[in-house]
Structure formats: structure tokens, C-alpha cells
Structure 1
Amino acid sequence: MTTDSSGTLTATALASADGADLGRIIATEPLIRTGRNWTRWAGPVISLLILVAVIYQCRQLNLGDVLALVPWSIPFWVCFALSYSASPIAEWVIFHRLWSIPLNGFAALFRKRVSNEILLGYLGEVYFYAWARRNSQITTAPFGAIKDVAILSALVGNVVTLAMILISAPFLGSLFFGKEASAFGWSVAFIMATSLLVMLFRRRLFSLPRKELWVVTGIHFLRIAATTGLSAYMWHLVLPQVELIWWFLLSTVRQILGRLPFLPNKDVVFAGLAVFLIGRESEIPSLLAMMAGLSLAAHLAVGALLGASELIREGSKA
């Protein structure tokens, strides 16, 4: 097997490899990097889009109103930082196990999250794929791993949601009625159908070894449990008069509502449910608005910082 001076596979190496060797060559050789490779400009373009989205959405954020409601206590901010970072931390653990990615992979994973949140769902996966292709320390083809991790994230979320629905079925049955009952039913059917399809075609969909798939699944479960618990504790810190168990219940219900694709006005439904369970009609809407505004502010701040830093770095290379 031979490569040229840039580490790119030569035609001789590819021509002399049989089918099995070809898959091994593609999986172990450094990835092709040429001036026409789209991954060279995909990262800067997505970073520029993030900055544009940040500037646009800053017009919708009244930071003063948000900060006026935030409790200035160390436990709250520690919980918020952990909750916001849970997804990048979980994914860094996964990809460090699969690829041994360095610590600077955290920046790419935070950009991935911000891209999905303020631009377009799964655009972050495109960015992270481009980053992995350009990272000299990653020598395995990244598409299969990123695809498997994304599918398992959705599948684990679906399984957790279905389990929560079964546990709280009597309670949810009294909550949804009329048109909302129909939307709720179709949403549950959709989640079950997509989950079954993934399981039926798992041999074709997944490329990672079975052991790694189980490890990734376990990490996703831990991430969901951590974010659910941290959300409940943050709400308790804002309104400590309400017992923590009620916040855990509401955090669980929010997890359910967030995964239902056809249910309209999810935020309205959740706010109404929170008021129904806890009362405090004047405080619950303010709390939920504050948490939503704080999350948006975090997305905008992280997006602006990381987007600008990547554009500056790429500009210095030019």
C-alpha cells in the first residue's frame, strides 16, 4: 500500500486492493485533503451563518428581563453550565473513545450544538463531519460513527419517551383531549414506528461494532437522565418553595412533550400543566420564560464566540 507525500492514497494502492482490503484502507488511511475538498470551506461557512443568526436573534432577546429573574447563586450557574454542556461532554466521551479526539474537539461539539439549535437541525452534524475530515489526528472515516451516534441519540430519546408515557399514562390521559388527543396519539405512533424501523434495519443502518453501540447507548441514557435532573434542580433553586419532586415530574413531562412531533403549542401546554400542578400562576410563566431566554442567550454567546474564533483562525491561515 502506498501514499503520496500528502498522505493521500495512490491509484496503485486502490487498484491492487481487493474488496476487504479496500474497506480497511478507507477506514485506516488519513482522509483526503485537497484544495477542492468541500470540508475546507464548510466549517467557515457554517460559522459565518452562526454569526448572522446570532446578530438576527439578538433583536428578539431582552437580556435585562431575563437576568432580572435569574438567581445569582453559584449552585444555579453550576447546574446551568453542566446542563448546557451535557450534550457536548457526552459526545466528546463517545468520540474520544472512538477516535481519541483531543480536548479541542469540545469547541467543535459546542459549534455542532449551536448550529442545530439556532440554524437547522442536524446541520451541526454536517459541521462536525467537516471538522473531523479536516482534523489531522482523526484517521478513520468519520461518517459512519457520526451517523450511528445521531441515530442512537434519537432512538434512546424515543425509548425514554415511550417509557415515560407508559409510566404516566393515567395522568397524561386526563391532560390531552379533543384535537390534542389526536395529535398526541399520532405523535406516539410516529415515535413507535420510527423506533421499530431503526431496530428492524439496524444491521444496515449501523456501522460501529455492537459493543460500541451499547456503550454509546448507555452514554446517551446518562445524558438524558442528567439533563432531566439538572433542569428540575435549577427550577427548584429559582422557586425553592416548591418541593423538588414536583420539578422532577415536570422535567419528565417536558421530556415527553419535547419528543412529540405532531403536538402543537408545546410550550403553552407545558406552561398550563405546570400551573395546574404547582399553582403560582404569576411565577411559573416567568420562570419558563426566563429559562428559555437564558438558554437562547447561552446559544448566542457561545455561537458568537466560537464562530468568530473560527473565522479569525481561518483568516490567519489564508
Structure 2
Amino acid sequence: MRALSLAVDFAVRLGATLGLARARARIAVVQYAILAGVCAYLALQLSKIGWSQIASSFPESPLFYLIFALRYFLLPLFEVATYSIVLRRPMGRHFPAFVRKRVYNVAVMGYSGEAFFTLWARRSLKLTTEEVLLAVKDNNIVSAFVSNAATALLVAGLYFAGRLGVALEAMPEAALLFTYAFVAPAIFALGVALFRDRLLSAAPDVVAKLVVVNVARLLLALTLHALLYWAALPAAPMETWLVFCALHLSLSRVPFAPALDILFLTAALHFSSLVAAPAAAVAGMLAAETGLAQLLNVALFAATAHLAAPLRRPRPSAPDTALPIGADGRRR
């Protein structure tokens, strides 16, 4: 009977595992199909503007590329700080792991970076699964709380300032996205604020530090994002670039969105009419940003590949089966 019970239990577990694998495979197929459709639509939009015009309209200001580099590495730098707080150990020397985590989340799929980080931390930091999952959970909830609150506030601010209405005239389809980007983040932020004691495992002083660091990160990220576009096209007012920032934040709130940079470029092209510059100049700026991001993603993903490889464990030495040697030097 026990053998039968074990066999049934094994079959149930195997079925659940295979079912989960099939579900993940289907989700991946849908995501790649969406990404393929987005890329095809993007190619069509860029073709209408003209590939040669876009290539000749890349930003010439060195400041654009300096700000781009700062903005690219901003999240990994701040995550070093937040995980140092929540894990109560210095994490600076593990910066490459946070870079790889960023590449997973932005270039592959949202939250895939957390899956990598959990496996890496268990192996490299000698932490238990529970310790890693609690750290990831607390850090993600606080980060999401700050990001969602900022998204809702930015969308509301642009709406009351009249800038969002102008953007929706250029792209009416974005009304649903911006509505979602206000309602869903506001509900999420309110829920975290009300039930923080049940959701968070970290001590209140740790949570307070995480909030401060994430607020600083988000303010700096928004500033750098707006300055990035201003460096390329300084004639446009800063309020216009904040609309682009709001679009990027809104898209980042969509769960499991594939290839956020490409998705943002496709949507942002519709806002080129808001800028007092030729469409090719706006497209060139956005294409330069996305192209550089993809090149860095590929290069850094390859450079940090060793972090995803399992550690090699030394093979146990073979037991000595030889007979013991006696006092007379003979085998017993």
C-alpha cells in the first residue's frame, strides 16, 4: 500500500510539474507572438519615416550618451543599496548580478530577473530559500509601492496640467493605458499602505530605509529620463518629456510585458507630434536610446553569463577499499 501511495504521490507531483511547464510554455509563446507583432508594427512605422533619415538624425550631443549610461546603471546601483539594507550585508561586490537581473527584467520579461536573483543568491550568498524569498518579496513590494504611487501621481499631475489631453489627441488609444496606469497603481499603493504589516516581513526601520532609497531612485530616474531627451532635442519644453516619462512608467506597470524598451519605442513614436522637431529627429533619438539599450543588454548578458552557471562541486573522493597494512608490512 505504501508503494502504491508513493507512486500516486509521484504521479500527482509529476503531473503538476508538467502542467506548470506547459502553462509556462504557452505564456512564452503568447509573449513572443506579441513581441513579434510589436516589432513588425515598429518596422512599419519606422519605414514610413524613412530609415536613412532616422539613421542621420541620431543625437550628436555627448551629454545624451552620458545621461543614457547613468540612467542604464541607476537601477542596479540602487538595488545594491536596497538589498544591502534588507539582507543586512554589503552587496557592492555583487553589482554584476544586479546588472544581469536588470537585463532579465527589461529585455526578457518582467520579474524574470527576480527568478534569476533568487537562484543566484541561494547559491552564491549561502542563504536559505526562505531568506532570499523574503528579501526579494519585501524589496519588490516597497519598490512597487513607490513606483506605483509615483506613476499615479505623475499621470494625475499631467492630466490636471492639461498635458495629458494633448498627448491623447496624438494617440487616443493611450487613454486606456493611462487610465490603467492611474487606477491600478493607486489601488496597489493604497493596499500596500493599509496592509503593510501583513505583507512585509522586514522591521519598520528597514522598510523606512527602503522607502527613502526607492523614492530617491525614482526621482533621479525621472530627472535623468527627461534630461536625456532634452539633451537630444533642447527646443522642446520639459513638460513634453515628462509625458514620455509617464508613458514609459505606465508601460512598466503592465505585468509581464515583453521587451519594455521596444514596446516603449513603438508607443512613443505616436507622441512625436508633441515635439517641435521633425519626426525623423524624434524617431532617431528614440531609436538611438532603444538600440543602445539592446546592445548593452546583449553585451552585459554575455558578460555576466558565469553568474547563471551552477557552481561546480568537488567530486567526493573514492573510498579506500585497499586492505589495511599490518606491522609486518603485509596486507591483512
TM-score, length basis structure 1? 0.67
The corresponding residue for 1:245 is: 238
Q: Is the 8 A contact 1:236 1:247 kept in 2?
A: no
The corresponding residue for 2:95 is: 106
The corresponding residue for 2:75 is: 87
1:1-318 equivalences in 2 (<5 Å): 69=58, 71=60, 73=62, 75-98=63-86, 99-136=88-125, 141-169=131-159, 170-176=162-168, 180-240=174-234, 242=235, 245-246=238-239, 248-259=241-252, 261=254, 267-307=265-305, 309-310=306-307, 314=311
Point out the more displaced range, 227-236 or 286-295: 227-236
Q: Is the 8 A contact 1:164 1:256 kept in 2?
A: no
Point out the more displaced range, 203-212 or 134-143: 134-143
Report the alpha carbon displacement of residue 222 of structure 1 after superposing the two structures with TM: 1.4
Report the alpha carbon displacement of residue 217 of structure 1 after superposing the two structures with TM: 1.3
The alpha-carbon distance between structure 1 residues 67 and 317, as it changes in their structure 2 partners (threshold 3 A), is farther
Identify unmatched segments of 5+ residues in structure 1. 1-52
Q: Which amino acid aligns with 2:213?
A: I
Q: Which amino acid aligns with 1:298?
A: L
Q: Is the 8 A contact 1:149 1:216 kept in 2?
A: yes
Take 2:125 and 2:298, find their aligned partners in 1: how far apart are those partners?
A: 29
Report the alpha carbon displacement of residue 187 of structure 1 after superposing the two structures with TM: 4.1
How many residue pairs get aligned? The number is 256
The alpha-carbon distance between structure 1 residues 284 and 174, as it changes in their structure 2 partners (threshold 3 A), is closer
Q: Give the share of equivalent positions with the same residue, in percent.
A: 22
Question: What are the Cα deviations for residues 165-185 of structure 1, in whole angstroms up to 9, with x where unaligned?
Answer: 221113213433765434533
Point out the more displaced range, 298-307 or 190-199: 190-199
Take 1:211 and 1:164, find their aligned partners in 2: how far apart are those partners?
A: 27
The alpha-carbon distance between structure 1 residues 244 and 312, as it changes in their structure 2 partners (threshold 3 A), is same
Report the alpha carbon displacement of residue 208 of structure 1 after superposing the two structures with TM: 0.7
Q: Which amino acid aligns with 1:202?
A: R
The alpha-carbon distance between structure 1 residues 211 and 67, as it changes in their structure 2 partners (threshold 3 A), is farther
The alpha-carbon distance between structure 1 residues 301 and 120, as it changes in their structure 2 partners (threshold 3 A), is same
Q: Superposition RMSD on alpha carbons, in Å?
A: 3.7
Report the alpha carbon displacement of residue 225 of structure 1 after superposing the two structures with TM: 1.6
Take 2:59 and 2:83, find their aligned partners in 1: how far apart are those partners?
A: 34
Q: Which amino acid aligns with 1:238?
A: A
Take 1:313 and 1:261, find their aligned partners in 2: how far apart are those partners?
A: 32
Take 1:92 and 1:163, find their aligned partners in 2: how far apart are those partners?
A: 26
Q: Higher Cα Rg: structure 1 or 2? A: 2
The alpha-carbon distance between structure 1 residues 111 and 180, as it changes in their structure 2 partners (threshold 3 A), is closer
TM-score, length basis structure 2? 0.65
The alpha-carbon distance between structure 1 residues 96 and 150, as it changes in their structure 2 partners (threshold 3 A), is same
The alpha-carbon distance between structure 1 residues 299 and 317, as it changes in their structure 2 partners (threshold 3 A), is farther
Question: What are the Cα deviations for residues 106-129 of structure 1, in whole angstroms up to 9, with x where unaligned?
Answer: 011111111112222212112212
Report the alpha carbon displacement of residue 235 of structure 1 after superposing the two structures with TM: 2.3
Question: What are the Cα deviations for residues 225-284 of structure 1, in whole angstroms up to 9, with x where unaligned?
Answer: 2122222222233334x2563565345433443345499x75454333243233322211
Take 1:315 and 1:189, find their aligned partners in 2: how far apart are those partners?
A: 48
Take 1:70 and 1:317, find their aligned partners in 2: how far apart are those partners?
A: 52
Take 1:190 and 1:136, find their aligned partners in 2: how far apart are those partners?
A: 35
Q: Is the 8 A contact 1:229 1:251 kept in 2?
A: no
* Partner SS state of residue 142, structure 1: helix
Q: Which amino acid aligns with 2:168?
A: F
Take 1:208 and 1:126, find their aligned partners in 2: how far apart are those partners?
A: 20
The corresponding residue for 1:42 is: none
